[in-house]
């Protein structure tokens, strides 16, 4: 306590900057409504006195110092006082020792001990407050009944301030709650008509500096009967025991900080009383009483009742607050249960989360929410713009945690102002496979939810040229800037809710993908079995055909002499038919394969494929004396090499077959993809096979791709099973491309195709 | 030609017509060796059992195996054959009516020496046989399988 290297901050040098360190307990002055005496606890020697000790009419301070305290009093009173002094324990609030008439003035005498000294305060009784006496106890009784009956913390606090207003007669009684960051909010108020309302006001933490908070937590009640009092100094300055100024922490008549009185004056307040509200041994809030019209001094009865009320309110309020917490927890829990039910019953996760009475915003205190799943964003309530949500999701997803939260997004992530205001608080839960599958809840900046009904212009502002910051509006402004960008912090019960919900959704997602995987496996198996069947059936169909073709051919060989031309022709036709049927079975097999086989795409050089096709068809090409033209090198295309070979083979073979010209030609080429304006991706390359063949009549253009469809007589143009184009169509389809043709009868045909989907 | 001192060829084929055709084609290109035939899985087992007791000159020096056998998957028979010590070095050429891409790969992996799709057309069939015999019985040397493990 003594001998710090810093200069002690006292009323002489206190300012807004250092009031945090103001050592109010060393103000070494008191308020005038009491006389203060400091005596040695052992010897009862009078060590220090307040300068107004002369009021006692026992002598001047200088005369009294050094005398024995016991000697001042009449026998009966002395006994009372001495008895009381022996019962004192250090660091406890003052005990009331006696009420006595001291030389014409009724005084209440209090004492407390500290550091080897006893501090006595002899308080003048006030004539004023006796008026309330008769109603005091009935007010109290009724009041407590009401407190018990209240159903919410706010209702409870409203009752509380009402009772205290009735018991004390103060014009304004406020209940003030501290937030975890130390700032305070006026949560209940009983105020006389005509006076400004302070309900909803927020005060920054700095408004009640630490020294003040410490003193608040030592006693239940502090009373300042007259804001404009003249402080009475204590003489002498130093205590001969401690060699220090006396520690007035527990003295109720202690002089207060000038910051405080200035603030009160700026508010037009003439007298105050402040009660402490404790919860679990910690400072929870205050009940602050103010009188605007005149000073007000409450006597000890009323003060005693108020202290008792403060204790009762503290106890009951703890319970109410816990109950409210529990009630919120329970409602979150209930909501969670119902959401889990919905998830189990509904097919769509999004619907389960948002359609019912119990939904992602019905229980939790948030202003907006967003569901990000399967690459889609769905917003509900007040949310930031989608682009911001995407960026936020990427950031949060990168943390790869089950849940993540913040009450001040601007601190964690660079975001635009609008988002920072609407979504200062963010709570995120992972709900799917991807890191960015998230459930997000948003809370706006705290100050946006605050309503202060008060009108700053009506407040009295002390324009002494000094700081005009010391007034409620100034406080509010400071508080507003303190909480800039902050939202109400997320409670543990809310984090738990998010975590459990997230897990519940993930379970559903995983279960569904398990089901999907199983379905896919079943489908693959079923495809394989089907394909097996096709192979077996193919073989079984081909076997007798071999017999038919083979044996007929044998007959033709052996029976050259015995058969005449007609018979020969018949037998040759049998062979042809058998061969054709064999070809059709092969075609069917190929067609079926296309339906079931998995596509294995890769980058394929079409020039190589083309030359392979040309090699395969060499005899037909030479037979027709056809020219294969490839005017410019073909591109590389991402596709399945077997199927693209099949496509080119079939198209070129067809082009060769259906050509009656003397110099047939076939051109294989491509057209570049034209990126349509406004699309992000390029369109696929269009390949084509063009010929100068017989062409196709317009009316038949639609039907050329049909299975087994032939436009010409069975023998015409070398026969053919009619499968070639169906296979081409299916192969193109498997690539999600498109095939189409242009043709002019007698002139030629062009088949176009793509091997990847067009983007719209 | 007589392949390798007249040792027999083994034909595993269920279809009588196809079998007869193959034999006829072989004869018509001049192969004079004895041709053994197994028509199904059971026959194969019997043959293999009995083959152990034969002396070298009676051991087949070449095998035609039709994959589309009833009751026994052709590929399994191939594996079975190749597991037999007396056939480990003997070339097995696989015949089939239609070639599944998977079958082709698997056949070679299981030890087939060649894979042929049987043409339905008689002339083409004959030409195929001629190509096979030109390659296997004339251009390349067949193993003699002189050392064999104890039965």
The mean pLDDT value for B127-141 works out to: 89
Kind and range of the H or E run holding A117 = strand A117-124
Q: How far apart are the CA of A634 and the nearest CA of chain B, in angstroms? A: 27
Average pLDDT over residues A244-248: 85
Using a CB–CB cutoff of 8 Å, tell me whether A547 touches chain B: yes
Q: Does A527 touch chain B (CB under 8 A)?
A: no
- Assess whether pLDDT exceeds 70 at residue A128: no
Q: Classify strands B92-96 and B114-117 as parallel, antiparallel or unpaired.
A: parallel
Cα–Cα distance measured from residue A158 to residue A153, given in angstroms and rounded to the nearest whole number: 9
Q: How many DSSP H helices and E strands does chain A contain?
A: 18, 25
CB contact under 8 A, A539 and B121: no
Q: Does A586 touch chain B (CB under 8 A)?
A: yes
**Cβ atoms of residues A240 and A217 within 8 Å:** no
H/E element, A40: strand A34-40
| Residue A708 contacts B, CB cutoff 8 Å | no
Interchain proximity B122–A549, CB inside 8 Å: yes
Q: Which of A550, A578, A589 sits opposite B17 (nearest CB)?
A: A550
pLDDT(A460) > 50: no
CA distance B96 to chain A (A): 9
A553 shares contact with chain B (CB less than 8 Å)? yes
Residues of B in contact with A546 (CB under 8 A): 15, 17-18, 97, 118, 120
Comparing A131-140, A216-225, A337-346, A650-659, the range with the smallest average pLDDT is A131-140
Q: Identify the helix (H) or strand (E) that includes residue A507.
A: helix A492-558
Q: Does A616 touch chain B (CB under 8 A)?
A: no
3-state secondary structure of A104: coil
Q: Is the pLDDT of residue A76 over 70?
A: yes
A66, A77, A122: which is closest to A240 by C-alpha? Answer: A66
Strand pairing class (B92-96; B62-66): parallel
Give the span between the Cα atoms of A241 and A115, in whole angstroms. 9
How many angstroms separate the Cα of A132 from the Cα of each of A73, A164, A294, A305, B107? 32, 12, 17, 12, 111
Q: Which residues of A touch B68 (CB under 8 A)?
A: 539, 543
The pLDDT tens digits of the residues spanning A739-753 come to 999 999 889 999 999
Pairing of strands A34-40, A46-50: antiparallel
Q: Evaluate whether A750 touches A742 at the Cβ level (below 8 Å).
A: yes
Determine the Cα–Cα distance for residues A388 and A393; give it in Å rounded to an integer.
8
Q: Which residue's entry shows tokens 């927020």? A: A202
Q: B73: which chain A residues are within 8 Å (Cβ-Cβ)?
A: none
CA-nearest of A469, A397, A481 to A439 is: A397
Q: How confident is the model at residue A4 (pLDDT cuts 50, 70, 90)?
A: very low
Segment B22-37, tens digit of pLDDT: 998 999 888 888 999 9
Chain B residues lying within 8 Å of A551, measured CB to CB: 17
- For the entire predicted model, the pTM comes to 0.55
Least confident of A365-379, A462-476, A659-673, B76-90: A462-476
Between B17, B98, B100, which is nearest A542 by CB? B98
Please answer yes or no on whether B21 and A550 come within 8 Å at the CB atom: yes
pLDDT digits (tens, 9 = 90+) for A574-594: 998 998 888 888 888 888 887
Residues of A in contact with B120 (CB under 8 A): 542, 545-546, 549-550, 578-579, 582
CA distance A626 to chain B (A): 25
Of A543, A549, A557, the CB nearest to B121: A549
- Closest chain A residue by Cα to residue B120: A546
pLDDT at site B58: 85
Contacts of B98 in chain A (CB under 8 A): 535, 538-539, 542, 586, 589
Residue of A nearest to B16 (CA): A547
Edge-first strand listing for the sheet containing A46-50:
A29-30, A232-235, A46-50, A34-40, A117-124, A105-114, A95-102
Q: Are A604 and A639 in contact (CB under 8 A)?
A: yes
* B69: pLDDT strictly greater than 50: yes
Report chain A's mean pLDDT, rounded to a whole number: 84
Interface with B, mutate which of A550, A551, A642 (most B CBs under 10 A): A550
Among residues A632, A536, A665, the alpha carbon closest in space to that of B68 is found at A536
A549 touching chain B per CB within 8 A = yes
Residue A289 has a pLDDT of 94
| CB-based contact, A680 to chain B, within 8 Å | no
Interchain CB contact of A542 with B (< 8 Å) = yes
* CB distance A93 to A219 below 8 Å: yes
Write out pLDDT tens, residues A399-454: 888 899 998 888 888 878 777 777 889 999 999 888 889 999 999 887 665 655 55
Q: Which of A22-31, A567-576, A654-663 has the lowest mean pLDDT?
A: A22-31
8 Å CB contact between A294 and A271: yes
Measured between beta carbons, which residues in chain B are less than 8 angstroms from residue A721? none
User: Which residues of chain A neighbour B123 with C-beta distances below 8 Å?
Assistant: 553
* A contacts of B18 (beta carbons < 8 Å): 546, 550
Contact B122 A554 (CB under 8 A): yes
pLDDT at residue B6 in the model: 80
pLDDT value at residue A432: 86
Share of chain A above pLDDT 90, in %: 29
pLDDT digits (tens, 9 = 90+) for A42-63: 999 999 999 999 888 888 888 8
Residues in chain B with CB shorter than 8 Å from the CB of A586 are: 98
Nearest CA in chain B to A551: B17
- CA–CA dist A81, A72 (Å, integer): 11
pLDDT in tens, A263-302: 888 888 999 999 999 887 788 889 999 999 999 998 888 8
Closest Cα of chain A to B61: distance in Å? Answer: 28
The shortest C-alpha distance from B42 to chain A (Å) reads 21
* A535 contact B CB<8A: yes
- Degrees, nearest 5: CA angle A117-A119-A121: 170
Give B-chain residues touching A545 at CB under 8 angstroms. 120
For A198, the token pair is 């302070």
Strand partners, A744: A748
Residues of chain B in contact with residue A557, where contact means CB-CB under 8 angstroms, are 122
> Is the Cβ pair B121, A579 closer than 8 Å?
yes
Q: Say if residue B5's pLDDT is above 60.
A: yes
**A598 close to B (CB below 8 A):** no
pLDDT of residue A473: 66
pLDDT in the model for residue A36: 93
Closest by alpha carbon to B40, among B16, B65, B10, B12? Answer: B12
Residues of chain B contacting A, Cβ within 8 Å: 15, 17-18, 21, 68, 97-98, 100-101, 118, 120-123, 125
**A693 burial level (CB within 10 Å; 0-12, 13-18, 19+):** buried
Give the pLDDT of residue A241: 74
Q: Do A539 and B68 lie within an 8 Å CB cutoff?
A: yes
Rounded to whole angstroms, the Cα distance separating B69 from B96 reads: 10
A224 vs A464, more confident? A224
The span from the CA of A310 to the CA of A284, in Å, is: 12
In this predicted model, what pLDDT tens digit does every residue of A139-149 receive, in sequence order?
Answer: 778 888 888 88
More confident residue, A305 or A709: A305
Q: Report the distance separating Cα A139 and Cα A155, nearest Å.
A: 18
Cβ-Cβ contacts under 8 Å for A407 (sequence gap 6 or more): A424, A425, A443, A486, A487, A488, A489, A490
Q: Which residues of A626-652 are buried (b: 16+ CB within 10 A; e: fewer)?
A: bebeeeeebeebebbbbbbbbbbbbbb
Residues of A within 8 A of B121 (CB-CB) are: 549, 553, 575, 579
Contact of B31 with B64, CB cutoff 8 Å:
no
For position A305, what pLDDT does the model report?
86
Q: A546 and B97 in contact by Cβ < 8 A? A: yes
pLDDT at residue A423, as a whole number: 86
pLDDT at A73 over 50: yes
Q: What angle do CA A381, A382, A385 make, to 5 degrees?
A: 120
Q: In angstroms, what separates the C-alpha of B123 from chain A's closest C-alpha?
A: 9
Q: How many helices (H) and strands (E) does chain B have?
A: 5, 5
For A576, nearest residue in chain B (alpha carbons): B121
Whether A198 has a pLDDT exceeding 70, the answer reads: yes
Return the top range by mean pLDDT from A204-208, A261-265, A335-339: A335-339
| Region of poorest pLDDT, from A11-20, A230-239, A633-642 | A11-20
Q: Nearest residue on chain B to A585, judged by CA atoms?
A: B98
pLDDT over 70, % of chain A: 88
**Nearest CA among A2, A47, A5, A44 for reference residue A25:** A2
Closest to A298 (Cα-Cα) out of A289, A286, A308: A289
Q: Which residues in chain A (627-656) have CB-CB distances under 8 A to chain B?
A: 642
């Amino acid at each position: 306590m003594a001998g710090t290297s810093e200069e002690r901050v006292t009323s002489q040098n206190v300012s807004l900057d250092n009031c945090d360190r103001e050592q109010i307990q060393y103000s070494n002055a008191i308020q005038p409504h009491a006389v203060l005496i400091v005596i040695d606890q052992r010897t009862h020697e009078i060590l220090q006195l307040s300068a107004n000790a002369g009021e006692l009419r026992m002598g001047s301070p200088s005369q009294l110092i050094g005398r024995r305290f016991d000697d001042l009093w009449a026998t009966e009173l002395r006994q009372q006082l001495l008895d009381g002094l022996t019962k004192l324990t250090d660091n406890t609030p003052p005990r009331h020792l006696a009420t006595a008439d001291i030389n014409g003035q009724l005084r209440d005498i209090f004492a407390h001990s500290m550091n080897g000294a006893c501090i006595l305060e002899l308080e003048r009784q006030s004539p004023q407050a006796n008026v309330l006496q008769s109603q005091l106890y009935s007010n109290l009784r009724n009041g407590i009944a009401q407190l018990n009956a209240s159903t919410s913390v706010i209702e409870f606090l409203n009752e509380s301030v009402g009772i205290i207003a009735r018991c004390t007669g103060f014009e304004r009684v406020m209940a003030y709650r501290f937030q975890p960051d130390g700032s305070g909010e006026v949560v209940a108020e009983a105020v006389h008509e005509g006076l400004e309302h302070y309900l909803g006001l927020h005060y920054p933490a700095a408004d009640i500096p630490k020294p003040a908070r410490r003193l608040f937590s030592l006693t239940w009640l502090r009373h300042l009967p007259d804001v404009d009092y003249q402080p009475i100094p204590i003489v002498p300055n130093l205590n001969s025991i401690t060699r220090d100024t006396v520690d007035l922490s527990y003295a109720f008549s202690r002089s207060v900080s000038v910051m405080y009185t200035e603030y009160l004056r700026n508010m037009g307040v003439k007298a105050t009383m402040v009660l402490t509200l404790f919860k679990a041994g910690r400072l929870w809030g205050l009940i602050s009483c103010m009188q605007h019209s005149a000073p007000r001094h409450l006597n000890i009865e009323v003060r005693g009742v108020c202290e008792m009320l403060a204790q009762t309110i503290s106890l009951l309020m703890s319970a109410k607050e816990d109950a409210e917490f529990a009630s919120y927890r329970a409602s979150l829990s209930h909501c969670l249960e119902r959401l889990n039910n919905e998830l189990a019953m509904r097919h769509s996760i999004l619907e389960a989360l948002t359609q019912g009475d119990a939904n992602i915003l019905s229980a939790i205190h948030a202003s907006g929410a967003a569901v990000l799943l399967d690459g889609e964003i769905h917003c509900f309530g007040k949310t930031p713009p989608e682009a911001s949500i995407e960026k936020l999701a990427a950031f949060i997803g990168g943390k790869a945690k089950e849940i993540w939260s913040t009450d001040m997004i601007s601190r964690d992530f660079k975001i635009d102002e609008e988002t920072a205001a609407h979504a200062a608080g963010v709570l995120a839960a992972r709900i799917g496979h991807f890191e960015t599958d998230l459930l997000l809840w948003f809370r706006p900046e705290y100050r946006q939810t605050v309503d202060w009904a008060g009108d700053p212009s009506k407040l009295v502002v002390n324009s002494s040229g000094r700081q005009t910051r010391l007034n409620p509006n100034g406080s509010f402004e400071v508080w507003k800037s303190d909480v800039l960008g902050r939202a109400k912090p997320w409670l543990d019960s809310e984090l738990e809710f998010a975590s459990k919900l997230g897990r519940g959704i993930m379970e559903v997602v995983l279960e569904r993908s398990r089901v999907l995987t199983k379905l896919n496996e079943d489908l693959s198996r079923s495809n394989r079995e089907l394909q097996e069947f096709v192979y077996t059936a193919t073989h079984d169909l081909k076997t007798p055909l071999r017999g038919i073709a083979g044996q007929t051919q044998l007959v033709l060989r052996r029976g050259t002499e015995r058969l005449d031309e007609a018979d020969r022709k018949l037998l040759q036709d049998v062979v042809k038919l058998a061969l054709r049927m064999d070809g059709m079975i092969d075609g069917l097999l190929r067609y079926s394969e296309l339906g079931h086989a998995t596509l294995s795409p890769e980058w394929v050089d079409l020039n190589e494929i083309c030359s392979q096709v040309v090699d395969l068809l060499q005899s037909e090409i030479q037979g027709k004396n056809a020219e294969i033209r490839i005017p410019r090198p073909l591109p590389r295309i991402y596709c399945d090499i077997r199927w693209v070979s099949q496509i080119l083979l079939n198209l070129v073979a067809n082009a060769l077959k259906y050509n009656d010209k003397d110099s047939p030609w076939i051109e294989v080429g491509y057209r570049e993809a034209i990126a349509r304006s406004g699309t992000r991706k390029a369109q696929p390359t269009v390949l084509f096979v063009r010929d100068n063949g017989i062409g196709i009549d317009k009316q038949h253009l639609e039907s050329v791709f049909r299975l087994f469809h032939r436009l010409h007589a069975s023998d015409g143009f070398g026969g053919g099973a009619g499968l070639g184009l169906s296979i081409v169509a299916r192969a193109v389809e498997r690539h999600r491309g498109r095939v189409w043709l242009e043709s002019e009868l007698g002139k030629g045909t062009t088949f176009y195709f793509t091997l990847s989907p067009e983007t719209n | 030609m007589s392949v390798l001192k007249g040792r027999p060829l083994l034909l595993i084929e269920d279809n009588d017509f196809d079998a007869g055709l193959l034999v006829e084609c072989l004869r018509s290109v001049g192969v004079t060796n004895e041709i053994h035939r197994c028509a199904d899985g059971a026959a194969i087992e019997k043959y293999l059992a009995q083959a152990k007791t034969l002396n070298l000159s009676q051991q087949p020096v070449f095998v035609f195996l039709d994959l589309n056998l009833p009751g026994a998957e052709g590929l399994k028979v191939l594996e079975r054959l190749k597991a037999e010590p007396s056939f480990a070095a003997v070339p097995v050429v696989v015949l089939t009516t239609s070639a599944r891409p998977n079958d082709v790969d698997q056949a070679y992996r299981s030890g087939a020496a060649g894979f042929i799709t049987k043409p339905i057309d008689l002339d083409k069939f004959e030409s195929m046989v001629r190509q096979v015999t030109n390659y296997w019985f004339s251009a390349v040397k067949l193993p003699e399988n002189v050392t064999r493990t104890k039965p």
